Amino acid sequence: MIEEMRPNLYRIEIPLPDSPLKYLNSYVIRSKDRNLIVDTGLNREECLEAMRKGLEELNIELAQTDFFITHLHADHFGLVGRLVHSTGKIFFNRPETELIEAKIGWDPMVAYAKKNGFPENELRLALEAHPGHKFSSDWIPDINVLSDADEIKVGEYRFQCVSTPGHSMGHMCLYEPTQKILIAGDHILIDITPNIQCWSSDRNPLKDYFLSLDKVSKLEIDLTLPGHRRVITDHMARIKELKEHHHQRLREVVSILKKGRQHAFQVASQMTWDLKADSWEDFPRAQKWFATGEALAHLRYLEEDGTIRPDDKNDVTRFALTHK
């Protein structure tokens, strides 16, 4: 499916099989000089076929096309290595470029999950089911690093880079101030909440996310083009809803910890999730991974503001309320 959002700015719907997200919105800005594609889809044949079909319909030549990737998650980054031409550039944020260059891999996340109660017998199976592990890019082409407030000019559009960490550590949006358009990636979504995960005690991604929402709320925006689902015409109302959702989550975590000291996997099993499953045991393993990561993000936020404290006895971190 192709939809023209504004003159020479199109949305190609890229299917995401077996994912509750259903599809990715890839945006194509067409220009007589250089085209720009924002986000690509997973590294799998269904995504590649949909992208090639869409680009052919729009008469887009990959030799005249550059790429901007909002963040490192595989449903946005995974296909770029199979699309970029030798003449093309890939624009990407610095924090996640450094993450790629460090070649850290998944092992630290797996160790952190284990330390926070994720059952060891399920860990590798959860990783094997994770779409980011299965459908990431085969290789990483050269990257052109962009920072906050840098500009990309494409035809009649002049986009400003807006650093919005939270959903990922280097997430970046594109803002067109004249047209009042925000290409939002996974920073703001219309009817689902961006998954905020934490896999390191050195970071506080939920705090970052709140600050990034405040940053975007100061922009004049008429049209928000998200990475998934429908477009957003009232970003301020949606930002308010997203903040309230996470504050409700924080209250829920506090309520769970009133029962006593618990690790993140236990907390996640008692949180409210919009997923069709009769019980926590019936959750797909990949969804248990996402849920535990989100529980950790909220626990980390509460730890930093002093509401809870961690206890690392017996090699597993459990959290307790500071004041009952």
Where along the chain do its domains lie?
2-246
Q: What are phi and psi of 102, to 5 degrees?
A: -75, -20
pLDDT at 105 (0 to 100): 80
Q: Round to whole Å and give the CA distance between 69 and 65.
A: 13
pLDDT at 205 (0 to 100): 98
Tens of pLDDT along 7-37? 999 999 999 998 889 999 999 999 999 999 9
- DSSP classification of residue 78: T
pLDDT at 324 (0 to 100): 63
Query: pTM for the complete prediction?
Result: 0.96
Three-state secondary-structure class, residue 54: helix
Tens of pLDDT along 40-68? 999 999 999 999 999 999 999 999 999 99
Instruction: Give the pair of three-digit tokens for residue 202.
Output: 């050195």
pLDDT at 41 (0 to 100): 97
Q: What are the residues facing 24 on neighbouring strands? A: 14
Three-state secondary-structure class, residue 324: coil
Q: Round to whole Å and give the CA distance between 123 and 263.
A: 16
Q: What are phi and psi of 49, to 5 degrees?
A: -65, -45
Segments in the chain below pLDDT 50: none
Looking at CATH, the fold of the domain delimited by 2-246 is given as Metallo-beta-lactamase; Chain A (3.60.15)
